[in-house]
């Protein structure tokens, strides 16, 4: 598929925003006079792939004008003739998993989830994977110390290499099946008066499967198109509210995840019972119940066990009575110790499960957290995003919206990041996973090397969206 940019664009002083579904960053810009022409082509990685929803493109709306799509993502949809072909292909794809990149994502998850989730009360859910990809896309447009600081946080050495590896891993984990979906999407939106370098747009299209749009940013048409794009790419679970005033650019990243339990809970076994909140009060909620065999871990201060999904697992960590769940987030090292497990230290036996049904959302301002982790340069007027544009731009805001839901069938989660530029053996023991007080959970995917896709705290399952 081929898309072109042929029109000259002029620059002006304004705020530029990068929005990423799951992670959102806004860029503020001081512009110079000038114009550029260019050509952006999107490689067809899979000719049979389904196309991305195209909200608002070339459709004039009141107070908006038309939006031009310069590149359209072609997703790596997997199609198989039969189950044998699918099985062989999946074995081959598992050999393509970038274990080193997945390990970097896991450490990034510990580094960011600890400061983000250790404060506060009640429910919380965060997607480190979405933010990692959003920042990788930002790093591709940065140079100098700005790039170095972003790469340091991502535990990467080279932005170009990171973009290439991220693209290959994207192609491995992207799935769209009836019982399992793992769909990431990226988009870049910029004002018709802003000159964005074609080399950057080409990287966004080729390595990050990004849709690229150009139009008049500060219009109702553009606002609706971006919000609709975010909603369409999160399974309808999240519709972001985007402020386009004084914006020049926005990058958006979304993740939609759905997976059924391998052994689903029987609905007739779901019973109402008490959940103990952190303040000692009680709320009523529905608990799913079952008994199974598996591996579990009894550690100092908590009990950990996992439920398998069609292509991964959800790990549940239940703090001992009297232990605040947020104590497990005290430091990145503490969180890593809690979340990382191994077969050697685990016990095998019968597990009694009592899991509350829940559905809720979270929203975060990520700017302060990112700056505290060493990304200060990107948030000031000395930022160097010169691989993206010749304008003087810096990240003005960074936000993330996430939704998660768990029931008898499985788990569904969606994230929107906005960067504004800006097995078996003899039973050894028995575990009671009675999740009737605040607990930690982690969603892991096998094609992402079991690095955390979502990390959350269920503090009150009775509190809905």
Report d(CA 294, CA 315) in Å as an integer: 12
The more confidently predicted of residues 178 and 31 is 178
Q: What is the CATH number of the domain that holds 205?
A: 3.30.497.10
The pLDDT, as a whole number, for residue 3 is 36
Name which of 251, 256, 218, 208 is nearest 234 in CA terms: 256
The more confidently predicted of residues 86 and 371 is 371
Regarding whether 342 and 235 lie in a shared domain, the answer is no
Report d(CA 387, CA 51) in Å as an integer: 28
Regarding whether 188 and 148 lie in a shared domain, the answer is yes
Regarding whether 434 and 349 lie in a shared domain, the answer is yes
Residue 14: its H or E element: strand 14-19
Residue 353 is assigned to a structural domain of this protein: yes
Residue 306: band (very low, low, confident or very high) from pLDDT cuts 50, 70, 90: very high
Residue 343: band (very low, low, confident or very high) from pLDDT cuts 50, 70, 90: low
Name which of 344, 310, 252 is nearest 444 in CA terms: 310
The pLDDT, as a whole number, for residue 66 is 86
Q: Which regions of 207-261 does DSSP assign to beta strands (E)?
A: 210-215, 249-260
| Domain limits for position 30 | 14-108+127-260+362-420
The pLDDT, as a whole number, for residue 363 is 93
The more confidently predicted of residues 250 and 361 is 361
| 358-417: pLDDT as tens digits | 999 999 999 999 999 999 999 888 989 999 999 887 887 788 999 999 999 999 999 988
Regarding whether 278 and 144 lie in a shared domain, the answer is no
Regarding whether 199 and 337 lie in a shared domain, the answer is no
Regarding whether 354 and 437 lie in a shared domain, the answer is yes
Residue 179 is assigned to a structural domain of this protein: yes
Q: What mean pLDDT, rounded, does the chain reach? A: 83
| 88-115: pLDDT as tens digits | 988 888 889 999 999 999 999 999 999 9
- Count the domains in the chain: 2
- On the CB side of 221, CA atoms within 13 Å amount to 19
Regarding whether 432 and 301 lie in a shared domain, the answer is yes
Residue 114 is assigned to a structural domain of this protein: no
Residue 65 is assigned to a structural domain of this protein: yes
β-strand partners of 319: 302
Report d(CA 390, CA 42) in Å as an integer: 23
| 118-170: pLDDT as tens digits | 988 899 999 999 999 999 999 999 999 999 999 999 999 999 999 999 999 99
Residue 242: band (very low, low, confident or very high) from pLDDT cuts 50, 70, 90: confident
How much is the CA Rg of the chain, to the nearest whole Å? Answer: 22
Q: Is 162 exposed, middle or buried (0-12, 13-18, 19+ CB in 10 A)?
A: buried
Residue 465: band (very low, low, confident or very high) from pLDDT cuts 50, 70, 90: low
DSSP 49: P
Residue 25: band (very low, low, confident or very high) from pLDDT cuts 50, 70, 90: very low
| 188-235: pLDDT as tens digits | 998 888 889 999 999 999 999 999 999 988 888 999 999 999 999 999
Contact 338, 113 (CB under 8 A): no
Q: What is the CATH number of the domain that holds 305?
A: 2.30.39.10
415 three-state secondary structure: strand
Regarding whether 322 and 440 lie in a shared domain, the answer is yes
Residue 217 is assigned to a structural domain of this protein: yes
Residue 317 is assigned to a structural domain of this protein: yes
Sort residue 235 into left (φ over 0), alpha (ψ -120 to 50) or beta: left
The more confidently predicted of residues 51 and 353 is 353
Regarding whether 99 and 38 lie in a shared domain, the answer is yes
Regarding whether 274 and 216 lie in a shared domain, the answer is no
Regarding whether 316 and 402 lie in a shared domain, the answer is no
In this structure, of 19-33, 340-354, 358-372, 451-465, the range with the lowest mean pLDDT score is 19-33
What are the distances in angstroms from CA 396 to CA 19, 30, 269, 332? 11, 12, 49, 26
Cα 243 to the center of its chain, rounded Å = 21
- In the predicted model, what is the mean pLDDT of residues 25-46? 43
Residue 378 is assigned to a structural domain of this protein: yes
Regarding whether 178 and 33 lie in a shared domain, the answer is yes
Residue 5 is assigned to a structural domain of this protein: no
């Amino acid at each position: 598929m081929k898309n072109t940019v042929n029109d000259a664009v002029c620059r002006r002083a304004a705020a530029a925003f990068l929005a990423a579904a799951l992670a959102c960053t806004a860029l503020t810009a001081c512009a110079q006079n000038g114009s550029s022409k260019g050509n952006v082509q999107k490689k067809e990685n899979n000719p049979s792939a389904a196309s991305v929803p195209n909200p608002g493109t070339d459709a004039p709306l009141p107070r908006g004008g038309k939006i031009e799509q310069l590149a359209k993502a072609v997703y790596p949809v997997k199609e198989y003739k039969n189950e044998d072909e699918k099985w062989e292909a999946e074995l081959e794809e598992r050999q393509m998993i970038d274990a080193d990149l997945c390990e970097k994502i896991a450490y990034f998850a510990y580094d960011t989830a600890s400061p983000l989730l250790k404060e506060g009360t009640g429910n919380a859910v965060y997607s480190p994977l979405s933010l990692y990809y959003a920042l990788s896309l930002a790093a591709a447009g940065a140079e100098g110390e700005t790039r170095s600081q972003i790469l340091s946080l991502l535990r990467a050495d080279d932005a170009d290499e990171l973009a290439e590896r991220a693209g290959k891993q994207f192609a491995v984990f992207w799935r769209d099946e009836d019982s399992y979906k793992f769909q990431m999407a990226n988009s870049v939106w910029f004002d018709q008066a802003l000159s964005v370098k074609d080399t950057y747009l080409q990287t966004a299209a080729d390595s990050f499967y990004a849709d690229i749009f150009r139009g008049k940013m500060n219009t109702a048409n553009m606002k609706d198109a971006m919000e609709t794009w975010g909603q369409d790419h999160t399974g309808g679970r999240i519709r972001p509210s985007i402020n386009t005033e004084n914006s020049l650019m926005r990058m958006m990243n979304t993740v939609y995840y759905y997976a059924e339990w391998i052994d689903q809970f029987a609905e007739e076994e779901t019973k109402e019972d008490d959940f103990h909140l952190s303040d000692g009060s009680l709320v009523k909620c529905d608990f799913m119940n079952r008994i199974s065999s598996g591996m579990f871990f009894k550690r100092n201060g908590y009990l950990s066990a996992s439920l398998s999904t069609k292509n991964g697992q959800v790990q549940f960590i239940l703090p001992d009575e009297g232990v605040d769940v947020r104590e497990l987030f005290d430091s990145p090292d503490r969180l890593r110790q809690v979340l990382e497990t191994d077969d050697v230290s685990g016990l095998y036996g019968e597990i009694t499960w009592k899991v509350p049904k829940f559905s809720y959302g979270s929203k975060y301002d990520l700017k302060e957290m990112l700056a505290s982790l060493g990304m200060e340069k990107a948030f000031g007027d000395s930022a160097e995003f010169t691989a993206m544009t010749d304008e003087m731009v810096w990240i003005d805001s960074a936000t993330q919206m996430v939704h998660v839901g768990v029931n008898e069938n499985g788990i569904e989660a969606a994230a929107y990041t906005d960067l504004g530029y800006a097995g078996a053996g003899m039973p050894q023991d028995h575990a009671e996973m009675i999740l009737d007080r605040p607990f930690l959970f982690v969603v892991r995917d096998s094609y992402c090397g079991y690095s955390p896709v979502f990390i959350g705290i269920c503090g009150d399952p009775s509190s809905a969206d």
